[in-house]
Amino acid sequence: MDGAGVRIWALPGIPEVRAGDDLAGLIGAALVAHEGGCRDGDVLVVTSKIVSKAEGRIVAASDREDAITAETVRVVATRGNTRIVENRLGVVGAAAGVDASNTAEGTVLLLPVDPDASARALCGTLRERFGVRLGVLISDTLGRAWRLGQTDIAIGAAGMQVVDDLRGGTDTQGRPLAVTVPVVADEIAGATDLVKGKATGLPVAVVRGMGRLVTDEVDTPGARTLVRTGEMDMFRLGTDEALAEGRAAGYAEGDAAGRAAGHAEGYAEGHAAGYGDGRAAGYAEGYAAARAAASGPSATPDHP
């Protein structure tokens, strides 16, 4: 934090955004009109909806369920009509981020195809226009697994650090910090929602006082790097889905093992029974043949 603290405010003057609009131009014009530009170290937080609108990520509301399915990589949990899924961006949330709020009647919005790329484009253009270093975050609203309500997170980032890695330092008592990595991109995104809101028509916020997080480069590790996937994902399924998957796997393994054991036991029993029956039958046949041979013509010669 800079010495003067942190100041956050919504940027007025952004008109309704439509497909194909120059979003960087609209934001730049609003900055000039209401702030006289921007300062070195400022961070701009842009609501994902206006990025999606500018990029034409709009579909008919009647296709909402199909859109959710298309945007889904993996279903995590389902409760009634609610689907918690992992979307193409790796973000786990309701309805894959497909949203009907703040869009024209009869339409829904999809998330940007690549929010990090969108952030880089905005950041590069605005840095060139104003001649200062600034960071850009693209935010979206998300629920939390064990908390009620929603908050904003960063789904796109450019020109700034997304985490503040404190590992290797010490706390105020001199104890080593081994795991402390605040996700500053999400913290900033959540804070700006206090001034942007969902019903104010203010989709962009300016954050001043976090210049230490702003980098010289535009192309920095983006918000996609914050996604916890694969072996790091400790909560890959909802409780009901995990139990169902466990039961299915256990049934399949148990059924296969039972069939294999039954086959082995049946084979052993059949082999033993067959061997016994065959030995008894062979003994009886051999004994009968021997008796027949012993009582045949060669054993009792004819007498004239």
- How far apart CA 262 and CA 289 sit, in angstroms, is 39
Average pLDDT, stretch 195-203? 86
Q: pLDDT value at position 282?
A: 59
Q: pLDDT value at position 286?
A: 62
Among residues of the chain, what percentage have pLDDT more than 90?
Answer: 58
- Higher-pLDDT residue of 112 and 179 is 112
Q: Find how far residue 50's CA is from the centre of its chain.
A: 22
Q: pLDDT value at position 294?
A: 62
Q: For 42-46, 126-130, 140-144, 220-224, which range has the lowest pLDDT when averaged over its residues?
A: 140-144
Condensed to tens digits (0 to 9), the pLDDT of residues 32-42 reads 999 999 999 99
Report which of 49, 274, 232, 209 is spatially closest to residue 141, judged by C-alpha positions.
Answer: 49
- How far apart CA 235 and CA 50 sit, in angstroms, is 31
Report which of 124, 72, 113 is spatially closest to residue 94, judged by C-alpha positions.
Answer: 72
Q: pLDDT value at position 298?
A: 45
Q: What average pLDDT does the chain have?
A: 86
Report which of 103, 74, 78 is spatially closest to residue 88, judged by C-alpha positions.
Answer: 74
- Most confident range (mean pLDDT) of 21-30, 53-62, 191-200, 273-282 is 21-30
Q: Is the pLDDT of residue 277 over 50?
A: yes
- How far apart CA 71 and CA 76 sit, in angstroms, is 14
Q: Place 161 in a pLDDT band, splitting at 50, 70 and 90.
A: very high
Q: Is the pLDDT of residue 195 over 60?
A: yes
- How far apart CA 92 and CA 188 sit, in angstroms, is 20
Q: pLDDT value at position 299?
A: 42
**Other beta carbons within 10 Å of 1:** 10
Condensed to tens digits (0 to 9), the pLDDT of residues 54-78 reads 999 999 988 888 999 999 999 988 8
Q: Place 183 in a pLDDT band, splitting at 50, 70 and 90.
A: very high
- How far apart CA 150 and CA 295 sit, in angstroms, is 102
Report which of 38, 54, 19, 45 is spatially closest to residue 202, judged by C-alpha positions.
Answer: 45
- How far apart CA 275 and CA 270 sit, in angstroms, is 8
Condensed to tens digits (0 to 9), the pLDDT of residues 86-120 reads 999 999 999 999 988 888 889 999 999 999 999 99
- CA gyration radius, the chain: 36
- The pTM assigned to this predicted structure is 0.77
